[in-house]
Structure 1
Amino acid sequence: MSKNGPLALSFHALVVVFMLAPLVVVCLVAFTPENTLSLPWHGFSLRWFRAVFERADFIQSFYNSLILAVVAATLATFIAVPAALAITRYRFPGRGFLNGLFLSPIIIPHLVLGVAMLRLFALMGVNGSFVWLMFAHVVVITPYVLRLVIAASIGMDRSAEQAAESLGASRFTLFRLITLPMILPGVAGGWLLAFINSFDEVTLSIFVTSPSTQTLPVRMYVYATESIDPMMAAVSALVIALTAATMIILDRVYGLDRVLVGRH
């Protein structure tokens, strides 16, 4: 073990560097004063960040993504929590089918889902609708919430629930005061994963968005096909900063170890 200790530590350090290096390079390129994707060898500049905030289409796409991710993650949580409790606590016909149905969007490629939903929305005459775009996102992010809530529900001690039930507590009171606080790390972690996946979703969104409902990842993809300049690096740096700030706030308010690991 003593011989493998430094080797394992070096390996883990290389993996971390390999994962973080692209993010660091993107953030550095965002500050270049040049017109090409190059590191800021000749000084730092905020010209590309100013260019981002001068683009009304990028600002609108960011608001679309933010609203979509918040609402879709919240709806997915409202669906996943009762579904997870039903799957883990009760045995009923179709229980396995229900579990597989909820988790199936993880298995099906988003390209296939995008084409299928494009066809479905075209038949329904709702192409380009923000509501139906939200429905598509709820479908693909619900499994992330469901898996974490199932894990939290299986690992919880139900003795407190049984004691409260024996004292006459109603089902709603039981859920609000005992069950929900005990599975809250799984719920919060699931919501966070759902939010991130919805905000970053591009493959599915390409098929079901319209110019008025275009999300930020789709707008970035379209822009990247038209031109190559450091403005994409500036947008990426802003998204990285937003994600990091969200994680820091969540850690300060609630604790990432409880959210991601499910500790109480």
Structure 2
Amino acid sequence: MQKNGPVALAFNCLVVAFVLAPLVVVCLVAFTPASTLTIPTTQFSLRWFRAVFEHADFMQSFRNSLWLATLSATFSVCLAVPAAIAITRYRFIGRDLLNGLFLSPLMIPHLVLGVALLRFFALIGQTGSFAWLVVSHTVIVTPYVLRLVIGALVGFDRSIEHAALSLNASRATVFWRMTLPLIIPGISGGWLLAFINSFDELTMSVFITSPTTITLPVRMYMYATESIDPMMAAVSALVIALTALTMLLLDRVYGLDRVLVGQK
């Protein structure tokens, strides 16, 4: 094992470099002063970052994505917490079916979901509605919250709740004063993970957005089909920075190692 240690370390470093290299190149290109996709060699410039903030369509799409991710993650928490409590603490007919129903968006390709939702919204006359876009994103991010909340509840010591109930505390009081604070790391971690997935979602959003509800990933896709310039790299660098910041916050709140275990 010790003889293979340096080889394994070198291999891991190469894999990490291979994965991070495209992101590093994109971030470097974002600082180029030129009008083409080139890595700056003599000087760096914030020209294209200023262009992003001056581009009304990109800023509107960013606000759409921010609101969409925030609302979707919040609604997913409201659905996942009671569902996780029911799944982990009670035995009832259809329990496995309920669990599978909530986790099914993880198994269905987002392309299929996008086409199906587009057809459904067309039938009910709600094509292009921001509210239904929020509903769609809530559907695909709820499984992430559910898994983390279930993980928090599985390791929960219920003797605290039993002690409070024996002292005549109501079930509502026990939940709000004891259960909820103890599972907050799982809830907040799930919210952040749902926020990231909703903010970065492209495949499904392409089908169900309208000209007034275009999200940032969809706007980037549309812009890339028309022209390629360093502004795309600047937008990508900003999205990478936002995602990295959110992942760092997720690691501090819940722990990325626990997230990866919970998703298996």
TM-score (norm 2): 0.93
Larger deviation, residues 238-247 vs 53-62: 238-247
Establish whether residue 24 from structure 1 lines up as the match of residue 24 from structure 2.
yes
Partner of 1:261: 258
Aligned residues: 259
Establish whether residue 114 from structure 1 lines up as the match of residue 114 from structure 2.
yes
State the secondary structure of the residue aligned to 2:34.
coil
Runs (4+) of structure 1 exceeding 6 A deviation are none
* Per-residue deviation, residues 95-154 of structure 1 (Å, max 9, x unmatched): 111111000001000000000000000011010000000000001100010111111111
Partner of 1:128: 128
Partner of 1:64: 64
Percent identity over the alignment is 69
Partner of 1:163: 163
Name stretches of at least 5 consecutive residues in structure 1 with no aligned partner: none
State the secondary structure of the residue aligned to 2:140.
helix
Q: Is the 1:189–1:259 contact (alpha carbons within 8 Å) kept by the matching residues of 2?
A: no
Shift of 1:191: 0.7
Q: Is the 1:185–1:258 contact (alpha carbons within 8 Å) kept by the matching residues of 2?
A: no
Partner of 1:142: 142
State the secondary structure of the residue aligned to 2:37.
coil
* Per-residue deviation, residues 142-182 of structure 1 (Å, max 9, x unmatched): 00101111111112221111111111111111111221122
Shift of 1:15: 2.4
RMSD after superposition: 1.6
Partner of 1:43: 43
Matched to 1:188, the amino acid is S
Determine the C-alpha separation between the residues in 1 that align with 2:22 and 2:110: 24
Determine the C-alpha separation between the residues in 2 that align with 1:79 and 1:136: 14
Q: 1:260 to 1:68 in 2, by over 3 A?
A: farther
Name stretches of at least 5 consecutive residues in structure 2 with no aligned partner: 260-264
Shift of 1:258: 4.4
Matched to 1:104, the amino acid is S
Establish whether residue 189 from structure 1 lines up as the match of residue 189 from structure 2.
yes
Establish whether residue 237 from structure 1 lines up as the match of residue 237 from structure 2.
yes
Partner of 2:262: none
Q: Is the 1:88–1:154 contact (alpha carbons within 8 Å) kept by the matching residues of 2?
A: yes
Matched to 2:92, the amino acid is F
Matched to 2:245, the amino acid is A
Determine the C-alpha separation between the residues in 2 that align with 1:17 and 1:109: 29
